[in-house]
Structure 1
Amino acid sequence: MASMLWESSLREKSSDLHEDTWHITIDDSIEPHRQARDWYQYISGSFARFRCSLCKRGWVSKRVQVVFHFNLNAAKREGTIKLRRFKQKCRRCNEARMEDPNFAVENIDVLIERLVEKIRMRCYSENLGENNRPSVFSGRVNGPHESQHCEACQSGICSQAN
């Protein structure tokens, strides 16, 4: 289900990418700052919700990190995007596992818009400047960011690290 939301947003936002076809897949094996040759990297963050698979407790996080690796095969007119959504774990459960984030559709759209801008600059050499459309969040976030429960902190890419 999650990958369909990302693919749908990408189809909508990438319709003007020089008639090339782009595809996105979720790939939890992506290592930040270790993209393959001829690939580009873009790291961004957004609001997301989590739910513990053990105790069913839910929480929100103000800045969930997302890493995109992307590449254009100009000869085939196809672009490939690999996406890694960094996980968090419940602070109440002793045996908690890292849980996948659930992004609101609006936030997926913002992340994909930003990504498409990076693709246009890197793969098509377009000069677009910078656009800072904010993520959408409804609700309240309480408490400190807890690095020991954040996969992005453990990978050294979390901007909220204590």
Structure 2
Amino acid sequence: MSGIFPLGSNAVVPAPCARTFCSECSSLGMPSPVSCSGGSLGPTPTFGLLGLPSSVIPPGLAFAHVVPWKQAYGMEQVWLGEFGQLFSSYLPHRWSLVPVSGTPLGSWNQFVDSAKVRFCCEECGHGWTSMKGRVAFWFAQAAGTAGAGVVAFRLYGQQCERCKSGRFQDAMWYPEEVVKVLMNLYNRVGQTYYGFFEPPIQKARRTGKPRTPHNVQLCQACHDGVCTNEHKTSPQAKLLS
């Protein structure tokens, strides 16, 4: 059930991360500890084989790989809290947030955004900052009065250029960058399903001066073909029945 966050009235919020918070991450603006102050979230539903209520997944769509949260320092609570606060305005339509490890199956609306993120190689300890941290969202809403919706998303990594292990390292996200990309997602969902006028995309990022240009050979999003597809919506996407 971890990693699936349906909206409603009584949330089941993960406990704060019990790790010791390092001074480096605290200086980077990482939460220490994280508290979830988002909007009201929902009652625990009955979960199916994928860990998600079958009524939430629109017909014709499926997830290839649902994965548990891998965010350090309790950052999953920042994603959860901000998502809940924003998407609670769409109630009684309930939206769920699902981490995945690959592109979902079927015709989804797709939205790709960028942020400043931090990496630390688990092999050699080398750390670096990127202004091109990528997140991809795939979202859909079922037709009818229930209007349940689901957002699948993936956070992309980068390889270490120092040890060249070939392993994609997980990104560490800053709280304000999470807020920014989820606001952009919220507006895109509103534009697609709720009649919003097309809002301007928030592109401002936390200040930084990367020492090297973006290396497409080390970028997981580039490897998967989504790095340059920012703010894309699938032409086949529609309200599914």
Q: Does residue 45 of structure 1 match 2:118?
A: no
Structure 2 partner of 1:130: 199
AA matched with 1:100: D
SS in 2 for 1:94: coil
Query: Superposed, which structure 2 residues align to 1:61-100 within 5 Å?
Result: 61-75=130-144, 76-100=146-170
Stretches of structure 2 that go unaligned for 5 or more consecutive residues are 1-73, 229-241
Alpha-carbon distance, 1:136 to partner: 3.2
Q: Is the 8 A contact 2:159 2:168 kept in 1?
A: yes
Structure exhibiting the larger radius of gyration computed from Cα positions: 2
Q: How many residues align?
A: 155
Alpha-carbon distance, 1:58 to partner: 1.0
Query: Superposed, which structure 2 residues align to 1:123-162 within 5 Å?
Result: 123-124=193-194, 126-159=195-228
Alpha-carbon distance, 1:87 to partner: 0.9
Give the TM-score normalised by structure 2: 0.59
In structure 2, distance between residues paired with 1:141 and 1:120: 34
Alpha-carbon distance, 1:2 to partner: 4.0
Alpha-carbon distance, 1:112 to partner: 0.5
Query: Superposed, which structure 2 residues align to 1:98-113 within 5 Å?
Result: 98-113=168-183
Instruction: Tell me the C-alpha RMSD between the 2 structures.
Output: 2.0
In structure 1, distance between residues paired with 2:76 and 2:101: 12
SS in 1 for 2:136: strand
Alpha-carbon distance, 1:117 to partner: 0.7
Alpha-carbon distance, 1:52 to partner: 0.3
SS in 2 for 1:10: helix
106, 112, 124: which one aligns with 1:55: 124
Alpha-carbon distance, 1:73 to partner: 2.4
**Cα–Cα, structure 1 residues 140 and 101, in superposed 2: closer, same or farther, change >3 Å?**
same
Give the TM-score normalised by structure 1: 0.85
Alpha-carbon distance, 1:65 to partner: 1.7
Question: Among the aligned pairs, what percent are the same residue?
Answer: 23
Stretches of structure 1 that go unaligned for 5 or more consecutive residues are none
Q: Is the 8 A contact 1:68 1:81 kept in 2?
A: yes
In structure 2, distance between residues paired with 1:134 and 1:147: 20
Alpha-carbon distance, 1:18 to partner: 4.4
SS in 1 for 2:89: coil
Alpha-carbon distance, 1:96 to partner: 4.1
More helix by share: 1
In structure 2, distance between residues paired with 1:92 and 1:44: 26
Structure 1 partner of 2:56: none
**Cα–Cα, structure 1 residues 25 and 4, in superposed 2: closer, same or farther, change >3 Å?**
farther
In structure 2, distance between residues paired with 1:70 and 1:6: 16
Q: Is the 8 A contact 2:191 2:198 kept in 1?
A: no
